[in-house]
Structure 1
Amino acid sequence: MKITITANQAALFLFVFLTSSSIINIPSPLISFAGNSAWLSLIFSAICGLLIAFPVIWLARVFPGKSFIEYSREVVGTPITFLLGLPFLFYQIHMAAAIVLDIAMFMKSSMMRETPAFWFIFLTFMVVAVSVHSGIDKITGLFPVLMGNVLFFVFLIIIMSYKNYHPSNIFPIMPDGVKPFLHGVYFSFGFPYVEIVLFSMVLPYVPSLGKKFGRKLSSAILWNAFCLVAATVVTIFVFGPIAGERKYSLFEVARTVNIADVFQRIEALIGYSLIVASFMKTTIVLFTAHQTCIHLIGLKEDKMLIYPLAMLMAIISCTAILKGDVQWGFEVSAIHPMWGFTCAGLPLLIVFIVALLRKKKPAAAAS
């Protein structure tokens, strides 16, 4: 019997996927690129995310119970599916490696500086692999609870840091013209909104995509945009011109909290949130990467590939340490969004356009 999840669970799963690590990691680099227009870049990127969700949902309805790789074979054939699927798999492997490496770098820079980074990497991937092995029904039940904890701590920090708000910091919004805004759109669409394409590997587990399913996924994207905009605006309010220099911005915001000499030094809450959020996103990416891999090579539901994939991701993370923080930061902020467009967004659009044209041909012939 195939494991299934409900439409509501799928929508919550998408919200967790888009929001988990991004709410901690996005504000700082986005502000460094877009300045005070960072929140506008997020809004525009979220609109683009809604647009890219349409072909994902449409294809899932036209090919019910099939993943992106499976219906790609029907639409463009097996050889082209391999050409599209291998970069798609590589993109997911690199993404998971980057997320866990970010955990290791955070722990090394802020909490456990004497511990070798590979310990964080291999232990995280071990827990992630065990979680994926437990099944999608288990993680879709657990992750909304964990995400609720993360959001509670994030918004608690946002509320408690109100004394440090300087709303005037958000002006002027576009002092250097439209180029920084567009740079912010490029970055924030590449992370996290183009990643919605990965959800094409999850939707086969939703047995019924009713009329309201599109609205539910759209609501998940809009709520994600609200959370990211809130975190970005608060960072600008607190730090102003130097907001883009704070690598883990909400962690730094938490350090500024000092209420009646009682509530202070509570940045550990954001540290916990970063680790839990990154764990959730890595688990989802490993799940989609595993589905992509087994469908590319034509296996049935074989969980034996979960652990080799996790090991490969861990090795890539450890290798990336040798590049240094600066080089790895450049790859994640500048190259990773481009990989998202070319390895995930473009293959989906190719399959969508071909499927759309083939669907119209019989109707045209009949007329």
Structure 2
Amino acid sequence: MEVRIRRVTLRLRTVFESSHLAYDSTDTCVATVTHHGVTGRGEGTPAWAHGETLDEVVAAVEAYGARILGPDLSDPDAVLDRIADWDAPVGARMALDGAVHDWLGRSAGVPTWRLLGLPRTLTEPTGYTIGIGSTAETLALLTDAPDVAAFKLKVRGVEDLDRLAAVRAATDRAIRIDANEAWDLATARDLTPALRNLDIQLVEQPFPTGAVDAYRRYRELPGRLPVFLDEGCTDVASVHAAADLADGVVVKLAKSGGVRATRRVMETARRLGLSVMLSCNCESELALSQAALLAPLADRVDLDSQFLLRDPPFRGLGLDRGHIVLGDAPGLGVTDTADDPPTAAAPARSDASS
């Protein structure tokens, strides 16, 4: 058993801004697991919102990854359970979990989704996220957006109403908003009637995670928007707390630690009657193909970061009328762009040409 990990920088097409931060690149890592001559790869995104660093993720995989996997992968369920229960950074668990799922498909010579009996085309269509910007910038991004079923706009507060109204005038598709903890209860009360008039579908994480009273009081507001918790929901325990505060939860591998751990969160949410949105951070198609294995458990899908990347390190996912189509390569279905055949250089232009 050989375990390796490397750092990867993902560069975005434009600066992406939320109420918390703005960035044009992000760092992640890819773990490789080689066993019986077959190599699987998995992406691990640090849980930045919870203070996790890439150095911690890399150090954990280097120090303990081989020990957690064990001598072989003959009992993959036991291996995946050990990874999910490992007291390690979320990104480390996500990377190893993904590498094992990739290895399983590659060792069988088929896409992992087929090995698990999943459909190649996700049943639920995906949304597409647009960061905070001017109305003109937002409309330009809307025009260039892929063919998706819904748009999610990052927002701050009342200053975003004109921008949202312009988007609503430009599209009849579903619009969701994500405040990333930027509101207080007074802001929510003031904005809700206007947001209802714009037919906003739902709001993600309107209040800070600890503002329990605000969530409870907003639930009593007539005509309120459905609320989904993102930063406020990371594991099974927090799902139980969410049942009294929200209508749904946003799940991500980069919060829960891989496919196996995130499945536990999703199954708990469904038992509690919460709606489930399967989402992502800024990640490559490798991580998105890991998350897509959980799509049958999701009511909504928000796997869109592949559209934001300038030089994607992996490729293989497709889009068919808003639905993500999984790759057909063995394993997680994506290939490393470094292995792409070189593109022929354009012929030199002669100085004498007209």
Q: Name the TM-score, length of structure 1 as normaliser.
A: 0.26
Q: Which has the higher strand share?
A: 2
Q: Which has the higher contact order (CA 8 A, sep 6+)?
A: 1
Q: Which has the higher helix share?
A: 1
